[in-house]
Structure 1
Amino acid sequence: MVDLVVFGEDWIGHPSATQHLIKGLLPRHRVIWVNSIGLRAPRMNGYDLRRMMQKLRDFCCKNTADTTEKNLTVLYPLVIPLYGLKWVRRINHWLLVRQIRRCIRQQQFFRYILWTSLPTSVDVMGDLNAVKCLYYCGDDFSALDGVAYSPVVVCEQYLAAKVDLVVVPGEQLAKRFNGCPLMILPHGVNYPLFSFPQARPDDLPREGPVAGFYGSLSAWLDIDLLIQTATALPKWQFVFIGPVKTSLSGLEALPNVHILPPKRHGQLPAYVQNWDVSLLPFRNNLQIKSCNPLKLKEYLASGTPVASTTFHAVKAYSNEVVLQQPREPFYRVIQRAYLFGGDADKRQRQQAVEKESWRSRSQWLSQLFLEWETENTCN
């Protein structure tokens, strides 16, 4: 069976679409996972400094590590996160190729596919002698908050021209790759995890109805809208779970707002099942127009009512999600969603995603890789 070398985010982080897909491939394919080489230069703030120090410790102390996952080896690469400088990219190219080739030899990979979810890996694509190359694009990097726009977009353009296949989760992202060999592979969901009933967590408020959101608390959230909403619904409790990456000062000052620290992915079903309305309170910007949030199908699998601002990806579930109408206050969207908490409505939401498993997506990819295994070219 063909092996895989994968460029992704840090494996220990909150699971991305790439991680979900790769986990489904592990029973049939050995994988070297190259931890994140970044998309932007670090800022001089606490979060970025801690992350840089952790990456340096990982490289010095581990470099590579087998995990509890069968067939998975994680590589902790050392790179310089300054992708706009040509001389830095040349150094990173030398560093990465050397580290990855050593790991490939150690794991005795002879025929392998190169999978990347990071445009900044483009410089090493032609130097690793892969059977085939695949680019999985899960986000519009040109619109992501905090990403080094120009260097990353240039890298992505070169990357798309080099690979044998570009895979995207939705039609909006597909429009960015006209002329490239392309496959749309919609996101899946871990339906058993999110649908199996869980006990109410102790730190979830018990007084009043509860509206909740989990994920990165970043600039793509409409904080002003949330402040207005929480103020208009003083008897409701609002819970936000995740790392704070933007100013929440006006929001967290409200007495009915609760900011909880990040939870492990396996803990999230207990929260989403036991609050009353799940929230998708996104801004109307370029990033959200192209986004396909994993939590949408996770929310639906839990059966909990969903209140959302309107964006492209959510429209496919307009029968299951309560969408904000033009000029409608968001608090009314929440109130409308709250009315759909009955068993019949819950079952309708769950049935909408019951067969949308990550496993089925991984099986399709595994079949593709079997077809590729007999070929010997990588552009």
Structure 2
Amino acid sequence: MIVYFSGREFDGVAGTHRLMAEHLSAWHPVLYVDPPWSALTPLWYRLAELRGAAMNRTKVRGPVLRQEKPGLWRLVPRVLPGAQRPGMHHVTAWLTRVKVRRAVAKLGQPVTAVVAAVPDNLLTTFPGVPTLYYVTDDLAAGAELLGLPRERLLAGERRQAESATTIAVVSPVLGERFAAMGFDATVVPNGCSASAYEGVDDLPWPDDIPRFDRPVAGFVGHINGRLDLGLLEDIADAGHPLLLVGPRHFSCPAERFAALTARPNVVWTGMRPHTELPRYMRAITVGLTPYVVDDFNRASFPLKTLEYLAAGRSVVSTSLPATDWLREDAEGAALIRAESSRDAFVKAVHEELAASAGPDRADLAVRRRAYAARHDWMHRAREVAGLLNQVGGPHDSGDQARPGR
């Protein structure tokens, strides 16, 4: 069994860690470990909701250890209140290790590897097995957004890097950062679930959005302080229909976002299950990746860019290193628009919306899907399994697991 300390709830918007864990379970059973939960956690989320954030946090009732699908279990460790307070975070890490060992003993499966995507002291939970520190964000650059001390994040990051058997990062920028610290890191970019978007144009229209009379620009994902809200406002100002799918975090200005979503050409659905996203993709013509270009976002690898392509949609993104990495491939450069100014971004959206009725739209959709399939999560999971020496285990799925790159 692979124990996967995710740092993200299994429920909610499905991100890198849930998708990676689900695909890793094709080779070995996986225990997915949610962030710790205390008696005060519901209160914290309730306060966040009162501030206007659609948190959609899992309500922990009944078993805290349950099977989500064949080969994949999920654990929500219960800990003491004040879990991330200075000093208390060490107790939280200790309690988490204890809870995980008990869960593994209950499942009765030997642990063969550990993945940690958080800077907490968790890689030592099962001594003697291969360990992977899986870095998906520049945590220190995002300390304010995460609400945690930068110094603690930096210290935890170095401890994890020193204790891990190997390190994987999602972007070249993160690879360079760890190289500067004296550590070798393998770049394993984010992927997409290409098969989930097959036949997207034949899916039922979502019940909670209107049928638009013009091509639609859309954003799918977390609506938070990482987004350049001005770009979304500019698109709405230009009169284009704008569809927003995802929960709003309180780091996104409440009044400004409310003004945006009050416009007649803007529709916001709030949080929607990951399995329902292909239906919403049907309504989108141009997918948007409108991130602020700061140190935190420069180190990231937005999932949505590849998901838009998997649905056959055109993509307009701000100019991020991850986008540039995709565009280094000639096909990627032909299929992804990356712009570094607000005017150029809005102009690109306008052009892509106008081109959606062109004679080559069907051919472009096929090319986008084919390009996205080269970046499928199964390929990414096999890379991570290889780093952990876990390929070819009891859940190896044969032809389905063989990469097509």
TM-score (norm 2): 0.81
Q: Alpha-carbon deviation of 1:354?
A: 2.2
Q: Alpha-carbon deviation of 1:81?
A: 4.7
Q: Alpha-carbon deviation of 1:174?
A: 0.9
What SS does structure 2 have at the residue aligned with 1:287? helix
Is residue 329 of structure 2 the alignment partner of residue 331 of structure 1? no
Q: Which runs of 5+ in 2 are unaligned?
A: 393-405
Residue 201 of structure 1: aligned partner? 206
Within 5 Å, give how 1:125-136 maps onto structure 2: 125-136=123-134
Within 5 Å, give how 1:84-233 maps onto structure 2: 84-86=85-87, 88-120=88-120, 122=121, 124-144=122-142, 145-150=145-150, 151-178=152-179, 179-197=182-200, 198-202=203-207, 203-233=209-239
Structure 1: which amino acid aligns with 2:129?
V
Alpha-carbon distance between aligned partners in 1 of 2:54 and 2:283, rounded to the nearest angstrom? 33
Conservation of the 8 A alpha-carbon contact between 1:240 and 1:259:
yes
Per-residue CA distance 1:167-188 (angstroms, 9 max, x = gap): 1122011122122242111222
Per-residue CA distance 1:131-165 (angstroms, 9 max, x = gap): 12111111111233234142223211211111111
Alpha-carbon distance between aligned partners in 2 of 1:127 and 1:357, rounded to the nearest angstrom? 30
Structure 1: which amino acid aligns with 2:260?
L
In structure 2, relative to structure 1, the CA distance for the partners of 1:336 and 1:128 (3 Å cut) is same
What SS does structure 2 have at the residue aligned with 1:328? helix
In structure 2, relative to structure 1, the CA distance for the partners of 1:54 and 1:223 (3 Å cut) is closer
Per-residue CA distance 1:45-96 (angstroms, 9 max, x = gap): 23399999977x62x63131122x112222110234543512x134223322
Structure 2: which amino acid aligns with 1:117?
A
In structure 2, relative to structure 1, the CA distance for the partners of 1:371 and 1:282 (3 Å cut) is closer
Q: Alpha-carbon deviation of 1:204?
A: 4.1
Structure 2: which amino acid aligns with 1:5?
V
Conservation of the 8 A alpha-carbon contact between 2:12 and 2:57:
no
Alpha-carbon distance between aligned partners in 2 of 1:327 and 1:96, rounded to the nearest angstrom? 45
In structure 2, relative to structure 1, the CA distance for the partners of 1:345 and 1:90 (3 Å cut) is closer
Structure 1: which amino acid aligns with 2:47?
N
In structure 2, relative to structure 1, the CA distance for the partners of 1:188 and 1:372 (3 Å cut) is closer
Higher mean displacement: 296-305 or 176-185 = 176-185
Per-residue CA distance 1:101-134 (angstroms, 9 max, x = gap): 21121122334211111112x1x43343241211
Conservation of the 8 A alpha-carbon contact between 1:305 and 1:340:
no
Higher mean displacement: 260-269 or 320-329 = 320-329
In structure 2, relative to structure 1, the CA distance for the partners of 1:51 and 1:157 (3 Å cut) is farther
What SS does structure 2 have at the residue aligned with 1:62? coil
Alpha-carbon distance between aligned partners in 2 of 1:277 and 1:372, rounded to the nearest angstrom? 37
Within 5 Å, give how 1:341-352 maps onto structure 2: 341=356, 342-352=361-371
In structure 1, which of residues 295, 298, 307 is the aligned counterpart of residue 304 of structure 2? 295
Structure 2: which amino acid aligns with 1:334?
V
Alpha-carbon distance between aligned partners in 2 of 1:367 and 1:305, rounded to the nearest angstrom? 33
What SS does structure 2 have at the residue aligned with 1:303? coil
Is residue 243 of structure 2 the alignment partner of residue 239 of structure 1? yes
Q: Alpha-carbon deviation of 1:27?
A: 3.1
Conservation of the 8 A alpha-carbon contact between 2:23 and 2:378:
yes
Residue 265 of structure 1: aligned partner? 274
Over 6 Å off, 4+ runs:
48-55
Alignment coverage as a number of residue pairs: 362
Q: Alpha-carbon deviation of 1:241?
A: 0.8
Alpha-carbon distance between aligned partners in 2 of 1:43 and 1:332, rounded to the nearest angstrom? 39
In structure 2, relative to structure 1, the CA distance for the partners of 1:204 and 1:192 (3 Å cut) is farther
Residue 75 of structure 1: aligned partner? 75
Per-residue CA distance 1:168-217 (angstroms, 9 max, x = gap): 12201112212224211122211121232323323144233311111111
Give the aligned CA root-mean-square deviation in angstroms.
2.9
Structure 2: which amino acid aligns with 1:32?
L
Residue 321 of structure 1: aligned partner? 336
Alpha-carbon distance between aligned partners in 2 of 1:264 and 1:22, rounded to the nearest angstrom? 17
Conservation of the 8 A alpha-carbon contact between 1:279 and 1:308:
yes
Alpha-carbon distance between aligned partners in 2 of 1:281 and 1:84, rounded to the nearest angstrom? 33
What SS does structure 2 have at the residue aligned with 1:161? helix
In structure 2, relative to structure 1, the CA distance for the partners of 1:118 and 1:48 (3 Å cut) is farther
Residue 377 of structure 1: aligned partner? none
Conservation of the 8 A alpha-carbon contact between 1:216 and 1:242:
yes
Residue 4 of structure 2: aligned partner? 6
In structure 2, relative to structure 1, the CA distance for the partners of 1:93 and 1:304 (3 Å cut) is closer
Conservation of the 8 A alpha-carbon contact between 2:231 and 2:346:
no
Structure 1: which amino acid aligns with 2:34?
N
Structure 1: which amino acid aligns with 2:183?
C
Conservation of the 8 A alpha-carbon contact between 1:111 and 1:130:
no
